[in-house]
Amino acid sequence: MSPRAVIGIDLGTTHCAMSRASLDEGAVAVAVDVMQLVGPSTVEAKRLLPSFLYFGAEAEGPLPLPWDDERTIAVGELARARAVEAPARVISSAKSWLCHPGVDRRGSLLPQGAAADIEAISPVEASYRYLDHLAESYAQAYPGEALGDQEIILTVPASFDAAARDLTVEAAQAAGFENLTLLEEPQAALYAWIAGHGSSFRQQLRVGDVIIVVDVGGGTTDFSAIAVSESDGAFELTRIAVGDHILLGGDNMDLALAHVAKQKLTAAGKEIDRVQLAALTYAARSAKERLLSDPDLASSPIALAARGSQLIGGSLRTDIAQEEVSRTLIDGFFPVVQRTARPISRARAGLTQLGLPYAQDAAVTRHLAAFLAKQASAAGGSGEMLRPTAVLFNGGVMKSTRLRARVMEVLSSWLAEVGAPPPRVLEGGDLDMGVAMGAATYGLVRRGRGLRIRGGTARSYYVGIESAVPAVPGIEPPIVAMCVAPFGMEEGSPVTVFPEELGVVVGEPVRFRFFSSSVRRDDPTGAQLESWKDTEIEELPPIEVTLPAEGRRDGDVVPIKLAASVTEVGTLLLEAVPSEPVKADERWKIELSVRGDREG
Amino acid sequence: MTRLWFAWACFFRVLLDGAFAGRAWAVRDRLPELPSAQPSPTSPPLAEGPTDEELEEAREAAQAEGRTEGRAQGALTLLSLLQSEGRFVDFIKQDITAFDDQDVGTAARVVHDGCRRALKDRVELSPILDQKEGAAVTLDKDADRQAIKLTGDVPGKAAAVKGTLKHHGWRAKGLKLPEPTKGHAHDIVFPAEVEL
């Protein structure tokens, strides 16, 4: 069935959101509320779907939805509430696991520390469950219009690596999304901003602008830079740089504030348990919002309900002072730092590998300084930092005017030091729904209704080949990194074939070390690097290809070339093309490893 | 004949065109209940049984019962919501006399914060009169007497009146409550909790 609408889906670490733009002439994106369980047997349509999955207990009976009486799992609000009450039965932050290179991402590892009766699932399956829930809810809102039949734009963090993108696509295909395209979240936020301003956005942007998107969501922080240029009198937007994946977001901030309140209660001799700490986090969030929005307020009271029915006399009372918010949130997460500051990394204890690789430095501003320095030459200039001229904020955290002001203050001081003017703020974005709305808008833009952001892949990719040198005990043979996919490859751009021939053994899996860079923009396919800086190139999990026999003998060594392209969906495709094919158009897909058995 | 053709056309569109089926379904849901007791012209006359009036009465009684039940269920859903989010029932049911104002105040904050959250986005409450309380107001002859209550020297006949605004009133717009799903027990306002 041909699509009737473009659907934008924001598959977030802590929340999902969905929007719809009809393909009829003149239509714009509208939010689609998501029906979900809000209590064990009550449903409500809500703007956001919390990305939590709860495995019901048999004794509780089913968790019925209007469209399925026998459901035994729940996605959304109820699941989020149960995450506190029964943590061993709930999956959270599946998306962060999806891009965790240290684990087998198709392995059944969620929920972490699952209760004995639960059949654990993979991060991919959890993502599929969220998408499937969106599809089911959509069918209720738009009867007779299956989500899977529509054109779907699914957003991913700009910092997602090629393997995490592949896995996201895998989850979407399991949910029956055939007509699928991936879009980077910060780009989606900019599309939403442009759509929100109609044609007046042209007055707000200037040729030569470098916009940075500062996206601080519930679980992750993501930076991108987008340049405004002109060609034949028309505006052009190009995404010129993306940042690293940083697991740091609003949840960390709420928790930090909850701990401040908890310490005060403990100091006063009050005990609070796990469930109360969660309630405290909730209360701390509202106190934070009040204090951040009104700097004249000296403090905001926090009342913590007794767990039993004796509310009066059993409830606890404390408060959060304006000064504590300033110290914990503004100075803790957005400290005033030098432009030369870099995130602090500590040596980790050996066992932390099992958990999520949370950012070790909680300072968003230090991560921002590192991003601007690393991408110093992204806009073509030279110098020690990228010089943004405009800032677009996204993500729930950045709703706070004081936090936005702090980011602008720090950024302006860095720019003043290098003799650049302070950047402008692009006002008027919808910080919760922007990504979903922007995704649907992008669907219309692709059909020629609006200005498109170009950019292609935000990284270049390399395979590591060992040099043929005499073996020396204890010393690893040197590695040469050969570029297989250059920076900025776009969907539909010609396949690049790596000129060097490599030998692979028929019938045996052959692995290559795999690297990528978000800064080396000029390496052509086939470029060979014998040395590089650690900050330039990072090693990814290895890639693997197995040549099926198919007319060849097991154990034979077959010469192949590596070919790279970007699929229509927006994922990187690496293929092995034999130099002497035994049939027409012979090629094998090279798997991006997601098994987390990287050495070292 | 036209109806036969239309039914035939609808049959195929409902089958093949999902969007049409959805719209048709929505329209069908909105249609008022057909008076089922009305015998169609072609059906055989009822030999014996309830008269039309009796059927009408029975149906009205059933509808009234359904309405009462529906109202009660809606009210319980709201009560349950105020309890889960704002511990409203706990607060009301507890004997308040023995506690000092500080304890009551702490509990009131819990209730205030949570009940506010429970109502936010679900019902839009706005003042009926925009003037400041204490201000002089003039009401014309046909001011809505359901929305505005007159006290004091109330005239017997409809007339324009002048007075002082004591309470600006509240008007609710669109109460949106969570919907029960299968097996929902309306009488459970808040479940007991046992930690293992």
Instruction: State the ipTM, two decimals.
Output: 0.76
A468 & A544 share domain: yes
Q: Which two tokens stand for residue A364?
A: 């968003």
Q: Give the nearest chain A residue to B191 (CA atoms).
A: A40
pLDDT at B136 over 80: yes
Identify the weakest region by mean pLDDT among A41-50, A516-525, B7-16, B165-174.
B7-16
**pLDDT tens digit sequence for B80-105:** 999 999 999 999 999 999 899 999 99
A32 and A163 in one domain? yes
Same domain, A272 and A178: no
CB atoms within 10 A of CB A107: 16
Last residue of a domain, one of A300, A333, A366: A333
Instruction: Report if residue A30 sits inside a domain.
Output: yes
Q: B84 and A39: CB-CB below 8 Å? A: yes
Rounded distance, CA A46 to CA B121, Å?
A: 10
Shared domain for A268 and A178, answered yes or no, is no
Q: Is A287 domain-assigned?
A: yes
Angle (nearest 5°) at CA A422 between A419 and A425: 155
Euclidean distance between CA atoms B75 and B90, whole angstroms:
17
- The reply to whether A508 falls in a domain is yes
Residue A287: which CATH number? 3.90.640.10
Q: Are residues A167 and A20 in the same domain?
A: yes
Amino acid at B17: D
Q: What is the pLDDT of residues B66-78, one digit of tens each?
A: 777 888 888 999 9
Q: Are residues A113 and A255 in the same domain?
A: no
- Using CA atoms, how far apart are residues A215 and A190, in angstroms rounded to an integer? 11
Kindly state the average pLDDT of the residues B3-28: 52
| Same structural domain, A33 and A148 | yes
Alpha-carbon Rg of chain B, whole angstroms?
27
The pLDDT assigned to B31 comes to 47
The amino acid sitting at A589 is K
In a domain, A36, yes or no: yes
The answer to whether the CB atoms of B179 and A307 lie below 8 A apart is: no
Chain B positions in Cβ-Cβ contact with residue A1 (cut-off 8 Å): 18
**Distance separating alpha carbons of residues B100 and A320, to the nearest angstrom:** 23
Q: Mean pLDDT, to the nearest integer, of B10-32?
A: 52
Q: How many CB pairs under 8 A join A and B?
A: 105
Whether A311 sits inside 8 A of B91 (CB atoms) is yes
Closest residue in B to A280 (Cα) is: B110
- Select the more confidently predicted residue: B15 or A12: A12
Give me the number of domains chain A comprises. Answer: 3
**Pick from A312, A333, A354: which residue ends a domain?**
A333
Six-digit token pair at A38? 């809000």
Q: Hey, of A24, A41, A265, A304, which one would you mutate to test binding to chain B, going by the most B CBs within 10 A of its CB?
A: A41
pLDDT exceeds cutoff 70 at B26? no
In chain A (600 residues long), the average pLDDT of successive 10-residue segments reads 92 95 91 94 94 92 93 95 88 90 87 87 96 97 94 94 92 95 95 90 91 92 94 88 91 90 91 85 85 87 88 90 92 94 69 66 94 90 89 92 94 95 90 93 90 89 79 76 89 78 83 90 89 87 81 83 88 88 84 58
DSSP symbol at A297: -
Q: Is A502 helix (H, G, I), strand (E, B) or coil?
A: strand
Query: Residue A145: which of B19, B77, B177 has the nearest Cβ?
Result: B19
A266 and A129 in one domain? no
pLDDT band at B42 (very low <50, low <70, confident <90, very high): very low
Burial of A459 (0-12, 13-18, 19+ CB in 10 A): buried
Locate the DSSP E strands across A76-209. Answer: 90-92, 151-156, 180-184
Cα distances (angstroms) measured from residue B101 to each of A301, A313, B64: 16, 10, 45
> Chain A closest CA to B31's CA: distance in Å?
17
Q: Which long-range contacts (CB under 8 A, 24 or more apart) does A206-209 make?
A: A206/A389, A207/A235, A208/A389, A209/A389, A209/A390
What are residue A312's phi and psi, to 5 degrees?
Answer: -80, 130
The answer on A256 and A179 residing in a single domain is no
User: The domain that contains A16 carries what CATH number?
Assistant: 3.30.420.40
User: Which of the two residues, B121 and B106, has the higher pLDDT score?
Assistant: B106
Residues 6 or more apart in contact with residue B30 via CB below 8 angstroms: none
Q: Is residue A516 part of a domain?
A: yes
Residue A595 buriedness (CB in 10 A; 0-12 / 13-18 / 19+): middle
Between A16 and B63, the higher pLDDT residue: A16
Q: Which residue has the higher pLDDT, A469 or B46?
A: A469
A62:B107 CB<8 A: no
**What is the pLDDT at residue A166?**
93
A-chain residues within 8 Å CB-CB of B18? Answer: 1, 143-146
On whether residue A236 sits in a domain, the answer given is no
Residue A383 belongs to a domain: no
Instruction: Choose the final residue of a domain: A136, A160, A183.
Output: A183
Closest C-alpha to A248, from A213, A221, A285: A221
A86 and A167 both lie in a single domain: yes
Chain B interface, Cβ < 8 Å to A: 17-23, 25-26, 77, 80, 84, 87, 90-91, 93-94, 96, 99, 102-107, 109-111, 113-114, 176-185, 191, 193
What is the domain extent for residue A298? 250-333
Long-range contacts for B130-135 (Cβ within 8 Å, ≥24 apart)?
B130/B168, B131/B165, B131/B168, B132/B165, B133/B165, B133/B166, B133/B167, B133/B168, B134/B164, B134/B165, B135/B164, B135/B165
Top-confidence residue, B6 or A495: A495
